[in-house]
Each structure stands twice: as structure tokens, then as C-alpha cells.
Amino acid sequence: MFGGFYTVRFQLNDAVGRSVMYVHGGKLLGGNSAFAHIGSYEANGDDVDIEVKTVRHNPDPNYRAMAGTDDATLIAKGRPDGERYRFRGALKELPGAVFQSVMTPVAEEAVPIAGGVGEGGIVNGLYSIHVRMLDGVEGGLTGVMLLNNGRILGGDASFYYLGTYTSENGRWKGQILNQEHTPSVRENPVFGGHEVGIGFSGTCDGRGALVEATALAGKRSLRLTAVLKLMRQA
């Protein structure tokens, strides 16, 4: 059955990209280092029809839009191939271009048990996340993060994130496990090749959140900050 958390490899003609995607209740919510992917799906037996819109969250011009425009709409059809799903379609803005993708599920046993959210806690939804390293360490990361009743699912073009959090009265705290799904080339090499545990705390409101965190990457302990902005409430 089509549903759960997936890593995604997609291709538009010869250009290749990667992202993560959460599938549930007729909605598709995900993205990567520069774009959020927000859409819907309809399943009819083994066949799945999807429509997904891209929305830029990272203004860095080095991350170019594959379609030549930041706002693109994908229409595609898919079928299961074992545990994976394969899709084929086109973009409304580029009707002659061929889109293909493979969605690979993240094992359910790897998804942690959710935490708790009380009154004044952080809003469920899809967020952009921009991470900045501290203590003179260069670089950072950008991606998307889905928050859903105490559970964290997210990622970017190279990593996926799994975690839990608790939140109430404008505060939140939790833990995340950052894992590499595709060897990182242009991302921060500090996290590349490592399974990174991150503990965090911070403030939140109806528009987003701020985070102070410590990451354990190999034998290194790294401090970082992050800004989350709500892109779509769920």
C-alpha cells in the first residue's frame, strides 16, 4: 500500500535530483535542499496518480530549478515495484520533458515512537529548515522537516532525518538521527558518511521555530543553530 516515509530519486530528461517524501491521507509532503514538494495522490488498486507542486525555500542560486522555474507542477502515474514505487509523467511547464522517479521506503522499524505535544506546542506541518554551524565550523544544511504530533520526518538531497519531540507553551525539545541516503557532494562534509545524533531545544510559534542543538558526528561534538519556517500546515 502506498504510504509512509520515502527517499526519492527523480529524473527530468537527463537531470537527476533527490528528495524525501511523506505519504499519508491523500497528501504528499516533502522536499530537498532547495525546494519543498507539496501535493496530493489518488490510489486506484495498484495504480497511483499524483500531482505535486514545487516551492523554493532556499534562495541560493547555486541550487537551480530543474524545470527552469521555481514554481512547477508535476503530473505522474505510478505503480509498485516490490516495496518501491516507480512513477512516470511530465511537468505542466515542460510538456515535452519526461519525468521519472523511484520512491524507496524507509523501514518502519527505524521510525521512532512519537513524543507528546501540549497546549501552545509547535504546529503540525511541513517546514523548511536552515542549519548553521557554530564555533568556527564552516557550512550548514538546508532541507525540509515534517512535524506530526511528536514525530519528526525530514531530509534533503543527501540525508534523511528521523526523530521525536515534545512541545508546549511555546517551547520544544527533542532528538534527531541524521542518516545519509546518497553520498553528499556539495553538502556540509562534516555530516557526510556519519550517522549523526542531534539533541535540540528551542522556541516555537505558529509560524516556525528556533533551535539550538548539539550534534555527535563520529568523534566530533558540534554546536549548531537552526531556523524552521512553516510552509504547509498538516
Report the C-alpha gap between 148 and 151 in whole angstroms.
5
Report the C-alpha gap between 93 and 95 in whole angstroms.
6
pLDDT at residue 122, as a whole number: 97
Confirm if 161 and 144 have CB atoms less than 8 A apart.
Answer: no
141: closest CA among 162, 159, 165?
A: 159
Residues of the chain where predicted confidence (pLDDT) is lower than 70: 184-190, 192-193
pLDDT at residue 185, as a whole number: 58
Write out the H or E segment, with its range, that includes residue 200.
strand 196-204
Quickly count: other Cβ atoms within 10 Å of residue 148's Cβ: 16
pTM for the full model? 0.92
Domains of the chain plus CATH, in order, are 4-105 (2.40.128.380), 108-233 (2.40.128.380)
